[in-house]
Amino acid sequence: MVEVLSELLLAAGWQPAQVLALVAVYAGAVALLRRASRSAQFRLRFDRLRGKTRVRLSMRRGAPPDVQWPYGTFLQRLRPDTRAIVLDLGVRRQVPAGQILIHEGARESHLVLLEEGLTKVTASLPDGRSALLSLRVGGDLVGEMSALNDQPRSATITTCGPTRYSVVPRDRFTRFLREHPEAALELAAMVADRLRWSNRRRIDFSSYAVRIRVARVIAELCRTHGRRSPDGVVIDVRLTQPELATICGAAETSIQKALRDLRAERLVDTDYRRITVRDLRRLRELGELPADEE
């Protein structure tokens, strides 16, 4: 290309010095364009790589530091720096409602760290029905019993809505506990609280009438899963009456009668699988619960 251009310029009467100067300018311009092109390509590749890196980091990074984890959950109990380590232990997954995260009786030892969503803990009864044992929310750790004692799963964990969680291998979690003994103490405290809650339900079954049991369970759900609204406290847990019956240890017909009584006294409102507590103070009095826990 340069040789053809030089011959054309010489034929047009240009002096050799002028042709050489023009060729030099042309060559310099070509070099600059090539350098700019390589630089643009490099920046493009770098930006793509940086974007992918940001995606990978965002998938690995824990929740933002301003997240308010529900009271009593494992993540809420930890210091912010320890919490960040826990959030980075596992592999993140996201599933819709109705997915089983842990199967009762399965021989597996990983843990599940819930980050967002609501799950139900159920166990099979001899007659084939399922009993609702408890509810777990974002911030809760589940599957810890099998991870610690190497026994089959004692319950089934099922998502009630879209749920984000992490699967944490047992060896990685136990190494974390050895390196962070304060987290091991909080884990023990969490297990103790769950045992206390379970014992409390057993005492309720033998000590209180069904109406009082229902009031106690609903009041506790207000504390753990309730949100304030102009009408009272809305429990954002979609519980069926059979599920409420199993968690209260009563027959479904007894639960229906207790709910009718509570509605008649304007303590609660119920619609499709949702409960709104209109007067939490009176409900706690009915359930013989201390007012300072409200």
Looking at residue 227, its pLDDT comes to 83
Length of the chain as a residue count = 294
What HEC string does the chain produce?
Answer: CHHHHHHHHHHCCCCHHHHHHHHHHHHHHHHHHHHHHHHHHHHHHHHHHHHHHHHHHHHHCCCCCCCCCCCCCHHHHCCHHHHHHHHCCCEEEEECCCCEEECCCCCCCCEEEEEECEEEEEEECCCCCEEEEEEEECCCEECHHHHHHCCCCCCEEEECCCEEEEEECHHHHHHHHHHCHHHHHHHHHHHHHHHHHHHHHHHHHHHCCHHHHHHHHHHHHHHHHEEEECCEEEECCCCCHHHHHHHHCCCHHHHHHHHHHHHHCCCEEEECCEEEECCHHHHHHHCCCCHHHC
- Terminal-to-terminal C-alpha distance of the chain: 87
- Closest among 283, 261, 275 to 227, alpha carbons compared: 275
Looking at residue 27, its pLDDT comes to 52
| Six token digits for residue 159 | 């998502």
Looking at residue 44, its pLDDT comes to 45
| Six token digits for residue 180 | 């962070």
Residue 218 half-sphere exposure toward CB, CA atoms < 13 A:
35
Looking at residue 58, its pLDDT comes to 35
CA atoms of 268 and 278, how far apart (whole Å)? 5
Looking at residue 3, its pLDDT comes to 52
Count of C-beta atoms within a 10 Å radius of residue 214: 28
From residue 96, alpha-carbon distances to 67, 117, 243 in Å are 22, 10, 20
CA atoms of 168 and 226, how far apart (whole Å)? 29
Looking at residue 33, its pLDDT comes to 45
241-248 helix and 210-225 helix, angle to the nearest 10 degrees: 110
Give this prediction's pTM.
0.64
CA atoms of 204 and 18, how far apart (whole Å)? 104
| Six token digits for residue 225 | 């899963």
The stretches in the chain having pLDDT less than 50 are: 2, 4-5, 8-9, 12, 19, 22, 25, 28-33, 36-37, 39-64
